[in-house]
Structure formats: C-alpha cells, structure tokens
Amino acid sequence: METGLKNRVAIVAASSQGIGRATALALAAEGAHLAMCARGAAALHETAEEVRRLYGVEVYTDTFDVSQDDRVRNFADAVHRHYGRIDVCVTNAGGPPAKSFAETTMEEWDRAYQLNLRSTVSFAHAVLPHMQQQHWGRLIAITSIAVKQPVLELVLSNSVRVGVLGLVRSLATQYGPDNITINNVAPGYTATARVKDLAEAGARASGRSVQEYESQMTADIPMRRLALPEEVADAVVWLASERASYVTGQTIVVDGGAYRGL
Ligand SMILES: NC(=O)c1ccc[n+]([C@@H]2O[C@H](COP(=O)([O-])OP(=O)(O)OC[C@H]3O[C@@H](n4cnc5c(N)ncnc54)[C@H](OP(=O)(O)O)[C@@H]3O)[C@@H](O)[C@H]2O)c1
C-alpha cells in the first residue's frame, strides 16, 4: 500500500518509548522525516539514533515536558525552520496516575489537564497555521480507550481525555476546508512500561497479585492479549497517510475488541 508519506515531515510527541516510539519508527519506515521529543535525553537520543540507522531519515530532537506551552511552541517553530514544513503532528504524553477518585488531589487534576488535554491544544495551536499554509496536514491525538469506556482506577484519564475528543471533533469541522484531517487513536491495554504501572496500581486496589491482575486484564479482551505498540502505530500511520485522506473527526479504537459498545 502506497502511504504517500515519503519525505513528509512528522512531529511525534513523547516518542522515546512505548507507543510514541513505535509510531516514530513506523512513520520513518514509510520515509517520513521526524521531529521527536520527550523529557529524558538518553532514551530519546537512543531511539532517534535507531530510527536514523534503520531508515536513513532525518530526525530532529528536543527534550522538554509537553505540558509546557512555550516549549511546545518553540519546538514546533524550530521544526518548521529546520524542515520548512510540518505535515503530520502526533500528540502524545505520559498518562495520569491510576488511583481511586477519593485519593486524587486537585493538583493531580490540574496536572492531568495540562498533560493530556492542554498539551494537545498547545500542539494544535503551534502546527495548524503551518498546515493551513500548505493546504495539507494531519493532526492525530493519541488518547485511550477511556474516551469510550471508563477504565477502573483511571478517573483522571477517563475525565480529562474526553476533552480531547471534543477538541478533535471541533477542529475537524473547522480545518476540513484547509485539507487538514484531525483524528484520535484510542489504544486499549498496550504492552509498554505504562501498562506495568497500571497493573501494579490495579493489583494494589483490588488486593490481588500483579500476575493475577494482568491475567484478568487479558481475559477481558476478546483477542486475549495486550496490543503491541506497533499495532497502535499502524493505525496512526494509516491516518497520516494519503489512504485516509477523507477520514476526519474520528476515533479509531485499537483495543482487541475490549470496548463493548456499538
Ligand atoms: N500502554 C497502555 O496500555 C495505554 C493504553 C491506553 C492509553 N495509553 C496512553 O498512551 C500514552 C502513551 O503511553 P505508553 O504506554 O506509550 O507510555 P510509556 O511507554 O510510559 O511512554 C511514554 C513516553 O512519553 C514520554 N513522556 C511522558 N511524559 C511526558 C511529558 N510530560 N512530556 C514529554 N514526554 C513525555 C516518555 O519519555 P520521558 O519519560 O523521558 O518524558 C516516553 O517516551 C499515554 O498517555 C498513556 O496513558 C496507554
């Protein structure tokens, strides 16, 4: 399948590990040049080097926290100065902590908003004007199955990420005439460091062992296994590609059938 991504320029946020990393590798495999970020330098530089070695594309990197609006803007401007364009922007970040509602603090609510909703707004503000000028663009938010079906002990994620859905739907309407598509990829449990944290929190809350909790996680998924980060990345690549040129404002759930709604 020809994706049309060769020589496109793609920002992939929070991409030193996990789903972001797999997405960076998958876009580079299609020939896209990348701009990657994360807070920690060591893992980011290691992943960037791996991308260059495997696919020979250019990779621009910067280390910062995506909840810092000024850093997001500076990054996007620097990427545009460096490459002369921004075609694809994949928004991503870490997830908020897993805990029961009673345990959450107002500081954690503020942080969850900054991390998972406000950071998406920052990237959208920073990249959409460039995409408008090009009359071509793809903005893809990575969220969670929580936007369709609340996840136990993830009240912060369940609440804040729904705002991303409203943002995606609103922007898809507004930027359709600019030939920019805006979509959301919602992963179910995916085999990354994050899922280990979730299993530990879930085990603590339910009084079971981590192993028992992990078995229960997969038993509830029709495919009876976690997603691979590469399987989530493939959905992002499709949405970024020419093959999804008429798909906008949508949520693509990649969860092995875990979401039971119609
Ligand atoms: N794994 C799952 O089962 C699952 C399911 C549904 C949704 N999700 C969501 O998908 C997103 C990615 O999850 P993942 O499983 O890929 O997580 P992960 O394996 O823990 O990787 C997170 C990546 O994001 C970077 N990062 C975290 N916080 C950041 C910040 N504030 N600013 C910049 N970079 C940041 C990390 O690098 P640094 O730490 O160096 O910054 C790392 O590269 C999360 O929002 C998660 O909640 C995950």
Residue 106 located in a structural domain = yes
Residue 246 located in a structural domain = yes
176 and 202 share one domain: no
Nearest CA to ligand 1 atom 47: 95
181 and 202 share one domain: no
143 and 213 share one domain: no
Domain that holds residue 51: 9-188+229-253
Residue 259 located in a structural domain = no
Model pLDDT, residue 200: 87
157 and 213 share one domain: no
Q: Which two tokens stand for residue 210?
A: 């981590």
Residue 184 located in a structural domain = yes
Per-residue pLDDT of the chain in tens (262 residues, 90 and over written 9)? 899 999 999 999 999 999 999 999 999 999 999 999 999 999 999 999 999 999 999 999 999 999 999 999 999 999 999 999 999 999 999 999 998 999 999 999 999 999 999 999 999 999 999 999 999 999 999 999 999 999 988 999 999 999 999 999 999 999 999 999 999 999 999 999 888 888 888 888 888 998 898 898 899 999 999 999 999 999 999 999 999 999 999 999 999 999 999 9
CATH code for the domain of 92: 3.40.50.720
Distance 151 CA to ligand 1 centre (A): 17
Model pLDDT, residue 205: 80
119 and 152 share one domain: yes
Are 116 and 93 spatial neighbours (Cβ–Cβ below 8 Å)?
Answer: yes
Distance 32 CA to ligand 1 centre (A): 22
CA nearest neighbour of 86 among 115, 128, 143, 48: 128
> Counting beta carbons within 10 angstroms of the beta carbon of residue 18, is it exposed (0 to 12), middle (13 to 18) or buried (19 or more)?
buried
Q: Which segments within 143-258 are labelled E, that is strand?
A: 180-187, 251-254
- State the pTM of this model: 0.97
Residue 15 located in a structural domain = yes
Whether the CB of 137 sits within 6 Å of ligand 1: no
Residue 3 located in a structural domain = no
Distance 92 CA to ligand 1 centre (A): 7
Choosing from 11, 15, 16, 19 the residue with most ligand 1 atoms within 8 A of its CB, the one to mutate for a pocket test is 19
204 and 91 share one domain: no
97 and 194 share one domain: no
Are 8 and 32 spatial neighbours (Cβ–Cβ below 8 Å)?
Answer: yes
Distance 21 CA to ligand 1 centre (A): 9
Model pLDDT, residue 241: 98
Distance 228 CA to ligand 1 centre (A): 14
90 and 214 share one domain: no
Model pLDDT, residue 197: 85
Model pLDDT, residue 149: 95
Distance 17 CA to ligand 1 centre (A): 7
Choosing from 108, 192, 198, 230 the residue with most ligand 1 atoms within 8 A of its CB, the one to mutate for a pocket test is 192
108 and 211 share one domain: no
48 and 118 share one domain: yes
120 and 176 share one domain: yes
Model pLDDT, residue 54: 98
134 and 241 share one domain: yes
How, if at all, do strands 137-142 and 88-91 pair? parallel
How many domains does the chain fold into?
Answer: 2
Model pLDDT, residue 24: 98
Q: Which atom of ligand 1 is nearest to the CA of 63?
A: 33
